[in-house]
């Protein structure tokens, strides 16, 4: 684990000879999980250390005589506080010593430098915070990359967030990598209503089939993530996101190491897990240059599928950093190619737990379903499963960042980025359902009236239409794909200016995004069965295709005013304009979107037309933010923040909650006139503390208590249009009202000496619908009901012990009862998950810096409980199972 991020207590500058100068504290092991922009020009050492404390939010103590007549070199870049201190003291003859409370004392280097082995042993004895709390006017908490790998080697950085208060993350996969059923809620908002960035690059809205970005595990190899930070109430104004109603999640990649070396990790485990990670660092070369290349391969059998099914893929990262006297240049590249078999959810409540897939046994799949001529009802629920289903994704992501310091008070950061995504969601499904037969029949046999009942194709009287059966391959299965491509690029630019007691920030972000989504159908024959790992070609037909062209313009202005040494006020605003032109070069035939309509005798429908597309902007010129931070004691501070945010309309089509998902041009034009983007006001306040305690047992406590309130307006939902009539075609999208959320989070770390610590985080949240709504002719009485899938109570804990090279951690999470439906008619039972990790690091090995052996066990009690759920509207919901108990071993060698 990495050391904790602490909060600045005070800034005291006493200029008398020998007096102590106190800036802001650095964690004891000199390698904090969080990083911060550091821009310090060559100047006297005393002034540089004061500035360093202010920029990193750490306490640094030194005496004026120790630094007299010394000058500090330039230190520039996004660095951990520990790295910044090391660079500043290099060659100065000064040394840094850790204080019990996590601060640092700078002294003259009168004693010889500790040998590397002794230094490692000293650092290993220091207990560090598992979760770090940032110094902001809002709630910011982070988990280090090292803690991520302790919890589960190679896991998604999203899954590591589940350790934080106010966060509920669930996934059917033990690494959290499966995107189809991944779910995260933060203070009442779901994953599509949060903002995501990596090294400042926007990652989009976090949706499955992301239309304007990619998931963090596809943007960087897990082992190359340095920290994962959550602003749970409201993100920074400069965050490049237009979906951050409920806060932002920022991922930071590790910088290249200053010394040349290599590292290789090999993980083995349950269900044939085989994960390889390798990285080579160049160290410093040339004039302030360093770089690394990293490679990862993940291969495992999905726990609920047969031996022929695999999940994982390949990924490559590269990063180059040039650190000049006043300019830092960073270049980054990521490529990944993966396939993740998907798990079909179960309609719950049910006694069933997991539903697999038939692949690769096509004979078993065909035997489980009635033949073409059968009028037998569909198979029972236990057999109602796919032949296969998978998410296939390929991504290329790159950025170039240039940060230049014009003077000690003026810095300009610029970042160019580009991302290309090519992906598909592939499902090989039985054609023996009325809904799928209606789609296929509409295109393959529109005149087959013999097989039509109540406006839908059916097998209940005559069996399946032979034309549909033959065209789809004669197996009773067809392959449906949702295919994606996304080309996007952009620029972020921010000026930082220090003027007296003011830190002024002004910036802008522009992005151009061209994305396409298409629904296509393919045959599945006995001689060409296809697989979950290859993209099918030569479709039977394209049901629909949406093309979107989006220009995003965001600007922000903020002033942070240090009113007194203890009180800081912030105020600012951002402006958002997201201009999307959605087109439909291939529109769905109306009947292919139909639901069952009593009395319909034909699928010919001339009374409706599918949407032709159009342009709708999402615009708000003034989204304000106000904050305050008061260090009312040496160890405690109060914070408060108020902020308004807007979620731009999603540039997605059929099947989504978007203006372009409606199924008539009239509905689109109506929404264009009266529909509004979702928006929120967030209010948060809390207290932080970080206290050394001089007792024989308890030696330190740190934590945060926060209260928040959120008013969420113009919630979008998909409903059936009133008075739909005989056509029965499709859905429309409407603003369904408001949601009010209140909650509290309490997290703390207790330290017992240098070897033992306990972390715990407990949360309460209440998200309540403010309105009823109509869906067709049905009134849903949701006013006063809780938003589904969100537990009112949750708790996370971690107990950590280390001694020398040994480390052990026991962790767990509790998720309380969750509503399963929007009317709260069915509740989802609570869930408890426990995990264990232990490791030992050897240092005295020839030709090797270190050798680490690690053991992990997940779901220790083999709990059978629901992970993610999709809420229902009546008496059922869709549930996804929790992965069973698994064991993993990792060997890590560093050279």
**Tens digit of each residue's pLDDT (9 = 90 or more) over 387-405:** 999 999 999 999 999 999 9
The residue among 811, 798, 817, 794 whose CA lies nearest residue 865 is 817
User: Where are the extended beta strands (E) located within 23-100?
Assistant: 36-40, 43-44, 60-63, 71-72, 75-79, 94-98
**3-class SS letters over 536-572:** CCCCCEEEEEEEEEEEEEEEEEEEEEECCCCEEEEEE
In a domain, 121, yes or no: no
Q: What is the token pair recorded at 147?
A: 């803690």
pLDDT in the model for residue 483: 96
The number of C-alpha atoms within 13 Å of 174 and in the hemisphere containing its C-beta is 30
Write out pLDDT tens, residues 142-154: 999 999 999 999 9
CA 659 to chain centre: 25
β-strand partners of 204: 196
The count of other CB atoms within 10 Å of the CB of residue 230 is 26
Say whether both 482 and 567 belong to one domain: yes
The residue among 216, 117, 19, 10 whose CA lies nearest residue 805 is 117
Looking at residue 58, which CATH number applies to its domain?
Answer: 3.55.50.30
The residue among 873, 800, 763, 780 whose CA lies nearest residue 162 is 763
**Element spanning 444, H or E:** helix 434-444
CB neighbour burial string for 103-126, b if at least 16 within 10 angstroms, e if fewer: bbbbeeeeeeeeeeeeebeeebeb
Instruction: Report in angstroms the alpha-carbon separations of 895 from 262, 601, 681.
Output: 5, 74, 51
Say whether both 413 and 517 belong to one domain: yes
Say whether both 645 and 688 belong to one domain: yes
SS3 30: coil
pLDDT in the model for residue 355: 86
Say whether both 289 and 391 belong to one domain: yes
Looking at residue 162, which CATH number applies to its domain?
Answer: 2.170.130.10
Say whether both 273 and 249 belong to one domain: no
Residue with tokens 């803690």: 147
In a domain, 870, yes or no: yes
pLDDT in the model for residue 754: 86
Say whether both 72 and 153 belong to one domain: no
Residue with tokens 């070369």: 285
Domain boundary among 253, 287, 322: 253
In a domain, 225, yes or no: yes
SS3 363: helix
CB neighbour burial string for 61-92, b if at least 16 within 10 angstroms, e if fewer: bbbbebbeeeebbbbbbbbbbbbbbbbbbeeb
What residues make up the domain containing 772? 261-431+472-894
The number of C-alpha atoms within 13 Å of 99 and in the hemisphere containing its C-beta is 22
Looking at residue 735, which CATH number applies to its domain?
Answer: 2.40.170.20
**3-class SS letters over 183-207:** EEEECCEEHHHCEEEECCEEEECCC
User: Contact 867/859 with Cβ under 8 angstroms?
Assistant: no
Say whether both 142 and 108 belong to one domain: no
In a domain, 480, yes or no: yes
Domain boundary among 235, 253, 271: 253
Say whether both 54 and 162 belong to one domain: no
Residue with tokens 């934590």: 703
Q: What is the token pair recorded at 696?
A: 């024989």
Residues of the chain with pLDDT under 70: 1-35, 54, 57, 63-65, 68-69, 97-104, 109-129, 134, 378-383, 595-609, 722-730
Residue with tokens 């629920």: 381
Domain boundary among 113, 148, 176: 113
Q: Look at the alpha carbons of 227, 232, 234, 240 in this order and tell me if their dihedral is positive or negative.
A: positive
Q: Give CA–CA dist 866/871, Å, rounded.
A: 12
Q: Give CA–CA dist 609/600, Å, rounded.
A: 17
What letter does residue 308 receive in the DSSP assignment? Answer: T
In a domain, 466, yes or no: no
Say whether both 172 and 91 belong to one domain: no
In a domain, 453, yes or no: no
Say whether both 108 and 69 belong to one domain: yes
Q: Give CA–CA dist 151/887, Å, rounded.
A: 12
In a domain, 439, yes or no: no
Say whether both 154 and 284 belong to one domain: no
In a domain, 79, yes or no: yes
CB neighbour burial string for 694-707, b if at least 16 within 10 angstroms, e if fewer: eeeeebbebbbebe
Say whether both 756 and 823 belong to one domain: yes
Domain count across the chain: 3
């Amino acid at each position: 684990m990495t050391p904790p991020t602490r909060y600045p207590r005070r800034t005291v500058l006493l200029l008398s000879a020998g007096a102590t100068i106190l800036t802001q504290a650095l964690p004891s092991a000199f390698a904090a999980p969080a990083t911060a922009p550091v821009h310090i020009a060559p100047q006297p050492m005393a002034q540089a250390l004061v500035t360093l404390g202010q920029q990193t939010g750490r306490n640094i103590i030194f005496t004026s005589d120790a630094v007299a007549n010394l000058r500090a070199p330039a230190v520039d870049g996004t660095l951990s506080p520990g790295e910044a201190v090391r660079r500043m003291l290099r060659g100065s003859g000064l040394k840094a010593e850790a204080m019990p409370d996590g601060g640092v004392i700078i002294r003259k280097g009168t004693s010889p430098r500790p040998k590397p082995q002794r230094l490692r042993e000293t650092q290993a004895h220091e207990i560090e915070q598992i979760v770090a709390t940032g110094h902001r006017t809002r709630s910011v908490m982070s988990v280090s990359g090292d803690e991520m790998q302790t919890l589960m080697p190679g896991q998604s950085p999203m899954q590591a967030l589940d350790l934080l208060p106010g966060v509920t993350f669930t996934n059917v996969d033990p690494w959290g990598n499966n995107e189809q059923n991944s779910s995260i809620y933060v203070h009442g908002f779901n994953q599509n209503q949060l903002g995501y960035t990596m090294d400042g690059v926007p990652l989009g809205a976090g949706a499955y089939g992301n239309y304007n970005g990619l998931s963090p595990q596809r943007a960087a190899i897990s082992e190359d993530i340095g920290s994962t930070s959550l602003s749970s109430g409201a993100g920074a104004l400069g965050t490049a996101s237009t979906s951050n109603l409920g806060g932002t999640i920022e991922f930071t990649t590790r910088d290249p190491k200053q010394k040349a070396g290599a590292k290789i990790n090999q993980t083995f485990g349950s269900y044939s897990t085989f994960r390889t990670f390798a990285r080579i660092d160049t160290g410093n070369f040339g004039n302030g240059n360093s770089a690394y290349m990293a490679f990862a391969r993940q291969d495992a059998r999905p726990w609920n599928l047969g031996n022929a099914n695999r999940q994982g893929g390949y990924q490559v990262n590269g990063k180059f950093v040039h650190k000049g006297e006043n300019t830092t240049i960073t270049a980054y590249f990521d490529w990944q190619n993966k396939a993740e078999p998907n798990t079909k959810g179960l309609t719950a409540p049910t006694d069933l737990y997991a539903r697999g897939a038939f692949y690769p046994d096509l004979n078993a799949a065909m035997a489980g379903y009635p033949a073409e001529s059968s009028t037998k009802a569909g198979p029972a629920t236990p057999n109602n499963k796919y032949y296969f289903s998978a998410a296939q994704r390929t991504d290329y992501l790159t950025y170039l960042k240039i940060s230049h310091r014009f003077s000690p008070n003026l810095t300009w950061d610029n970042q160019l980025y580009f991302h290309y995504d090519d992906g598909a969601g592939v499902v090989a499904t039985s054609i023996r359902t009325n809904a799928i037969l209606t789609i296929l029949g509409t295109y393959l046999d529109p005149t087959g009236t013999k097989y039509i009942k109540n406006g839908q194709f059916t097998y209940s009287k005559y069996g399946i239409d032979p034309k549909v059966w033959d065209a789809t391959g004669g197996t009773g299965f067809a392959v449906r794909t949702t295919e994606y491509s996304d080309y996007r690029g952009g620029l972020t630019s921010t000026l930082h200016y220090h003027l007296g007691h003011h830190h002024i920030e002004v910036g802008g972000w522009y992005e151009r995004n061209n994305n396409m989504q298409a629904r296509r159908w393919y045959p599945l024959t006995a001689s060409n069965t296809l697989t979950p790992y290859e993209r099918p070609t030569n479709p039977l037909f394209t049901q629909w295709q949406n093309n979107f062209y989006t220009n995003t313009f965001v600007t922000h202005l903020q002033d942070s005013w240090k009113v007194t040494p203890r009180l800081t006020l912030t105020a600012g605003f951002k402006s958002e304009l997201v201009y999307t032109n959605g087109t439909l070069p291939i529109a769905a035939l109306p009947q292919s979107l139909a639901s069952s309509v009593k009395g319909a005798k034909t699928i010919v429908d001339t009374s409706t037309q599918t949407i032709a597309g159009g342009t709708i902007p999402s615009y708000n010129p003034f989204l304000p933010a106000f904050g305050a931070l008061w260090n009312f004691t040496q160890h405690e501070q109060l914070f408060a923040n108020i902020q308004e945010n807007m979620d731009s309309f999603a540039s997605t089509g059929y099947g989504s909650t978007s203006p372009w998902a409606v199924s008539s041009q009239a509905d689109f034009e109506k929404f264009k006139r009266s529909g509004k983007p979702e928006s929120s006001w967030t209010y948060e306040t809390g207290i932080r503390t970080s206290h050394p305690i001089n007792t024989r047992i308890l030696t330190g406590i740190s934590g945060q208590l926060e209260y928040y309130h959120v008013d969420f307006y113009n919630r979008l939902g998909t409903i059936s249009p009133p008075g739909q009539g005989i056509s029965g075609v499709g859905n429309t999208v409407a603003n369904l009202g408001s949601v009010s959320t209140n909650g509290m989070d309490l997290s703390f770390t207790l330290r017992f000496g240098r070897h033992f610590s306990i972390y715990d985080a407990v949360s309460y949240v209440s998200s309540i619908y403010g309105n009823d709504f109509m869906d067709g002719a049905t009134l849903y009485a949701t006013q006063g009901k809780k938003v589904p899938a969100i537990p009112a109570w949750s708790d996370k804990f971690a107990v950590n012990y280390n001694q020398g090279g040994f480390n052990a951690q026991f962790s767990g999470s509790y998720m309380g009862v969750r509503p399963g439906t929007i009317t709260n008619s069915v509740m989802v039972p609570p869930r408890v998950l426990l995990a264990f990790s232990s490791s030992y690091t050897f240092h005295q090995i020839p030709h090797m810096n270190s050798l680490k052996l690690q053991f992990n066990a997940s779901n220790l009690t083999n709990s059978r409980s629901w992970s993610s759920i999709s809420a229902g509207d009546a008496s059922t919901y869709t549930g996804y199972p929790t992965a069973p108990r698994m064991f993993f071993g990792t060997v890590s060698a560093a050279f």
